[in-house]
Amino acid sequence: VADGAAAAGARTGRTAPSTCPARGPRARTAGRMPLVRVPRGTAVTVEARNAGVEDTDVRGPLRLGTVNGDVVVRDAGDAHGLQRLATRNGSVRATGLAARRVEAGTVNGDVDLRTTTSPVRLSGTTRNGSVRVTLPADPPPYAVRATTVNGRTVNDLPDASAASNHRLTLRTVNGDTEVHPG
């Protein structure tokens, strides 16, 4: 998915489904990733299975999910929106992410988030992997809840009261949790 002209036949407020057949003459090309261009500010929802999802330079709310594959975001999001990034077996990686709220999670894989804004709420979760968050330099005070069973926790943010308007929740069972200013 990339910012730019609308895909052929796309209309505002419409869904453009895309499927890859398991059998037949097009089955051999099913492994290729389709490229969809959307107008700036468009809310993007992508649901995949057995494939990764990549989003580059889309400036709008994101809801990206897959079952088996990575979710990768580059220079995308909306400073006023909710960004949901999820997979079950794979990693979630975002660089240059703008958001008011972020929900990122996986079961088996890492969650690595680098934001260009200071989200009011950010949640990063995994069971088997690490959760790493890098906020912009000089972020506002955050109430941080970081937990791990088998790993270490690193919090390089200044201490904040529980009454802080900004909250980070980082959770894993087997891995590290880290949060740093940029």
Joined together, the tokens standing for residue 96 give 């240059």
Beta strand extents in 13-140 (DSSP E only): 37-38, 44-48, 53-56, 62-68, 71-77, 82-89, 92-98, 101-105, 111-115, 121-125, 131-135
Contact 99/117 with Cβ under 8 angstroms?
yes
Render pLDDT for 44-94 as a digit per residue (tens, 0 to 9).
999 999 999 999 999 999 999 999 999 999 999 999 999 999 999 999 999
What percentage of the chain reaches a pLDDT higher than 70? Answer: 80
Give per-residue pLDDT as tens, 131-145: 999 999 999 999 999
CA 10 to chain centre: 24
Is the separation of the CB atoms in 135 and 113 below 8 Å? Answer: no
| Pairing of β 71-77 and β 92-98 | parallel
Residue pointed to by tokens 């308007």: 165
Higher pLDDT, 65 or 30: 65
More confident residue, 166 or 25: 166
- Per the prediction, the chain carries an average pLDDT of 87
Q: Which helix (H) or strand (E) holds 181?
A: strand 177-181
The pair of three-digit structure tokens given for residue 175, joined into one six-digit string: 């891995």
Phi, psi at 15, each rounded to 5°: -100, 135
- The answer to whether residues 144 and 122 touch, using CB atoms and an 8 Å cutoff, is no
Buried b (16+ CB within 10 A) or exposed e, 17-38: eeebeeeeeeeeeeeeeeebbb
Q: What is the pLDDT of residues 81-98, one digit of tens each?
A: 999 999 999 999 999 999
Distance CA 24, CA 34 (A): 18
